[in-house]
Structures are given as C-alpha cells and as structure tokens.
Structure 1
Amino acid sequence: MEFRLDMIEDKVEFFEAYDLRTLERKVDEQIMNNKALLLQVGSVQHHAAFDPNAGKMLYSAVVHFKVKSRS
C-alpha cells in the first residue's frame, strides 16, 4: 500500500448570503483557513440577484484559490 501526499494547487469555492457583511465574513474566514494549506486568492467574482422567494437580494461570490508563489 502506497501512502502519498499531494499538494493542493488550485481550489474554487462558492459562497452566498443575503447581505454583503455576511458574505464578506464567509469569504474572509475561508481565506484564513486556506492560508494553512498554503493557498492564496487568485481571483474573485461576485454577483447579486433578486431572490423572489425570499423577497430580497442574494449575493454570491466565487473565489479561486491557488498555491502561494515561492518568490
């Protein structure tokens, strides 16, 4: 049996919330968690759409984490 550890080089995570403060908190929390995996933010995309079922705006973000450059 072979035991092998591979380093995560890319990771994409999705977040959503009904207010920007909560969305920002979720993203910031995950940024801190991914620092332990030696990942940094590569790019962020964010969107807002009206949720007719809830009657309010729904904010979402996609964050691409990539391995920290060794410079």
Structure 2
Amino acid sequence: MSLQLNLDFYEDKIEFFEAESIKALEDKIQAQIENNKALMLSVHSVSHQMYVSDDGRRFYSAVVHFKLKQSVGSSISI
C-alpha cells in the first residue's frame, strides 16, 4: 500500500515593505526572509526606492520577489 501526499507550494510571492530608515527596512525584510524559509521560498529579486518629503523626511520602500527553491518537489510518495 502506498500513501501519496500532494503538497501545493507557493511558487511566487511578492511582498511590499516600507520604513522611515534604511535599517528598519532591512530588518523587516530580513525577518520576512526567515519566515518565508518555512514556505521553502528564497529571494529572487529586490527593488527599492527612497523618497524625500517636502519637509526633508526620508521614506524607504522595497518590493521583494520570493520564488520557490528549485530543489523542492511537488509530491512525496511514502
């Protein structure tokens, strides 16, 4: 008798981050990288921007594209 488990994995996931300092932005992204390891996702690309408001305040944002690690299969047979 064979038991087959079909596991559906996220193949792509895009997340948006924002912060008032580059360090805070980096910390948010790093925390989410660790969280997404449980979903077998790794960073595929990062895009970031900085905006300076009229009063001189800086605002940082980033878009991180996570992709399924290539070594993961979509089904497991026991």
Shorter-chain TM-score: what band? 0.7 to 0.9
Q: Give 4+ residue runs of structure 1 displaced > 6 Å after superposition.
A: none
Gaps of 5+ in 1: none
Percent of pairs identical after alignment?
A: 52
Counterpart of 1:34, as a letter, is: N
Gaps of 5+ in 2: 1-5, 73-78
Q: CA deviation at 1:58?
A: 0.3
Name the larger-Rg structure: 2
CA RMSD of aligned residues (A): 1.9
1:69 partner SS: coil
Measure, in 2, the Cα distance between the counterparts of 1:66 and 1:5. Answer: 16
User: What is the TM-score normalised by the length of structure 1?
Assistant: 0.85
Counterpart of 1:65, as a letter, is: F
